[in-house]
Structure 1
Amino acid sequence: MKRIIVKRLLNAIPLLIIISMIAFLLIKLAPGDPVRSFVTPDMAPEDVERIRQSLGLDKPIYIQYFLWLQNIFVGNFGYSMITKRPVLDMILERLPATVGLMGVSLIVTLIIAIPLGLFTAVKKNSLFDRIANLISYIGISIPIFWFALMLIYLFSLKWGLLPSMGMRTVGSDSVWDIIKHGILPCTVLAFQNVSVYMRYIRSSTIHQLEEDYVQIQYAYGANKTTVLFRHVLRNVLLPIITIIGLSIPGLVGGAFITETVFSWPGLGLLGVTSIFSFDYPVIMAITLFSSLMLVIGNLFADILYSVVDPRIRLRG
């Protein structure tokens, strides 16, 4: 298993390099100039050009990329053009907030989606099944930012139950205060994922309930609960593991919107701020971290495959 993990991580290096090349090219081709952030009306053209040279923006694009890549291989992510702080320090400061929000929303998603998907499959075409499907269609269809704004309006402005922005209240360091601030953004991320996961689990469960091994278990005298949770659930979890691995980048993308709406101090808010200020080193570092999350998510899915299905472990 260790050999397979190391091999997958080594194979991910060329993939990350290709992603970084595309991201670097798109950033450079995007309209805008980071030098404008430093220009004042009384500056001479020579001063503006001197700033451009100090930032290394006067070199050709491919030279800028190889210089950046060379620094990445030695663990140097550069400095922010705006704050002048090390990019790695800025990311490590924001990473716990994003990982915590993503992790809690994923756990909430699984806790709700798995039993809900199983129950709607068993109660196929019932009133409960139709209501759950209607809610899932709504969760898949509505935009994340609109749902976030509706929650802020209802729970913060109208009813005053939960805070609308930030991660902490000024002057408060309690855990409960962080939980209250995280309820709304976590709900926004989990609602759409529950809708997607529930439909996958429902469809897979309906298919598994029609298999011969289920009828054999009933013939041996097993009850519905035993068949559902000891036999069907194991086969249902296999495609869900794939969805979990592939949904990690989606959580990062959703965090960009959610963190911006709720002013949650994570990588998403940092990324949006960096994009508007043309802070190239920070944008590239966040892109690289997001791509790395995708690779780790797929690797995590492969490991879970071998845990859930022994046949895959034996073949490996």
Structure 2
Amino acid sequence: MIRFLAKRLGQAIVVILLVTVIVFLLLHSVPGGPARGILGPQASPQAIAAFNHEHGFDKSLVQQYWAFLSRLLRGDLGDSYTLNQSVGSLIAQRLPKTLVLTGMSTLLALVIAVPLGVWQGRRRRGLTDYAVTAVVFIGYATPVFFLALILVIVFTEKIPILPPQAPQTQSLAGLFADSRGLILPVLAGAIATVAAFSRYMRSAVLDNLAEDYVRTARAKGASERRVVWLHIMRNSLTPIIAMLGYYLPVLFSGALVIESVFNYPGMGLLFWNAAQTSDYPILLGTVLVIALATVIGSLLADIVQALVDPRVRGAIR
């Protein structure tokens, strides 16, 4: 197990380094560079040269990347060009709110998707299974921003029972104090996730229904409820656990869109505002945090999967 963890940690470090290189090169390949984005298209060559010299953009890309990496190892993500704050403090303010949004959406999705997948697996190829599958595929194929807009139109205009935007607050306590404003963002994030997880759960249940241990449990006189909810569901959760870690990039990208639609004060809104003002330190810091969360999520998913599934533990050994 220790060798497995060491190997996965080494792979995680390599992935994060590659992400920093790719994102750094992409952000610096924008026409005009950061100076043109911050100072505007009418900026004089002298102003651009002064800006580049002040922020080190007049050096070679290798020198700029090494300076960036050195600051990153010290925990310094740089300073925002437009907000006059450190990127680390801005992310520290916004990240907990994004985690609340993604966490609540994922929890709601699992509460719905796991029983739904089990129910579909037991009633496979029936009329209700086909009907639910059609609805699930529609939810899975619909873009997140479109789902969010539909929810806004239905529940704030046609049936005006919910506010059109999330609570505008600087604290987590303020978010929960106005819980009605969280309903639509959480629901928008959960719909697409339910569609994905329920399909995986249904497939896993179908695979486990054909296993020998199911026939053995039934032959021993175990009730159908016990067979399904104790044996089949436990073994069917393994791919869902693995999927949670690998699904983190999708969850975060969905949160970025949802936050922009509902004006939710998280990292997504911070990212979009930075993109509009060409605030490169914020863009780079946000992408790095998402990459780090993805790598950590994948690592935790592998560890939990090894603890849950004896077959994975045997393969690791």
Q: Given the two structures, how large is their TM-score scaled by the length of structure 2? A: 0.91
Instruction: Identify the residue that residue 288 of structure 1 maps to in structure 2.
Output: 288
Q: Structure 1 residues 39 and 278, CA, compared in 2 at 3 Å: closer, same or farther?
A: closer
Instruction: Identify the residue that residue 51 of structure 1 maps to in structure 2.
Output: 51
CA distance in 2, matches of 1:47, 1:40: 11
Indicate if the aligned counterparts of 1:201 and 1:240 stay in contact, CA closer than 8 A. yes
Instruction: Identify the residue that residue 158 of structure 2 maps to in structure 1.
Output: 158
Residues 264-279 of structure 1: pairs in structure 2 closer than 5 A: 264-279=264-279
Indicate if the aligned counterparts of 1:168 and 1:178 stay in contact, CA closer than 8 A. no
1:230 and 2:230 are equivalent in the alignment: yes
Question: Unpaired segments of 5 or more residues in structure 2?
Answer: none
SS at structure 1 position matched to 2:56: coil
Deviation readout 1:75-96 (Å, 9 max, x if unpaired):
1111011112101000000001
1:200 and 2:195 are equivalent in the alignment: no
SS at structure 1 position matched to 2:179: helix
Question: Unpaired segments of 5 or more residues in structure 1?
Answer: none
CA distance in 2, matches of 1:10, 1:250: 24
Indicate if the aligned counterparts of 1:110 and 1:194 stay in contact, CA closer than 8 A. yes
CA distance in 2, matches of 1:253, 1:246: 13
Query: What amino acid sits opposite 2:39 in the alignment?
Result: F
CA distance in 2, matches of 1:175, 1:283: 25
SS at structure 2 position matched to 1:221: coil
Instruction: Identify the residue that residue 83 of structure 2 maps to in structure 1.
Output: 83
Displacement of 1:128 after TM fit?
A: 2.2
Deviation readout 1:187-211 (Å, 9 max, x if unpaired):
1111011011111111111121122
SS at structure 1 position matched to 2:247: helix
Instruction: Identify the residue that residue 123 of structure 2 maps to in structure 1.
Output: 123
Residues 210-221 of structure 1: pairs in structure 2 closer than 5 A: 210-221=210-221
Query: What amino acid sits opposite 1:21 in the alignment?
Result: V
Displacement of 1:310 after TM fit?
A: 3.6
Indicate if the aligned counterparts of 1:257 and 1:268 stay in contact, CA closer than 8 A. yes
Identity %: 35
CA distance in 2, matches of 1:146, 1:220: 50
Deviation readout 1:290-312 (Å, 9 max, x if unpaired):
11111111111122113322443
CA distance in 2, matches of 1:28, 1:47: 18
Q: Given the two structures, how large is their TM-score scaled by the length of structure 1? A: 0.92
CA distance in 2, matches of 1:174, 1:46: 46
Indicate if the aligned counterparts of 1:168 and 1:181 stay in contact, CA closer than 8 A. no
Query: What amino acid sits opposite 2:119 in the alignment?
Result: F
Residues 1-316 of structure 1: pairs in structure 2 closer than 5 A: 5=5, 8-36=8-36, 37-38=38-39, 44-168=44-168, 177-313=177-313, 315-316=316-317
Q: Structure 1 residues 311 and 125, CA, compared in 2 at 3 Å: closer, same or farther?
A: closer
Cα RMSD between the aligned structures? 2.3
CA distance in 2, matches of 1:266, 1:174: 13
Query: What amino acid sits opposite 2:246 in the alignment?
Result: L
Indicate if the aligned counterparts of 2:169 and 2:175 stay in contact, CA closer than 8 A. no
Displacement of 1:4 after TM fit?
A: 5.1
Q: How many pairs does the alignment contain?
A: 314
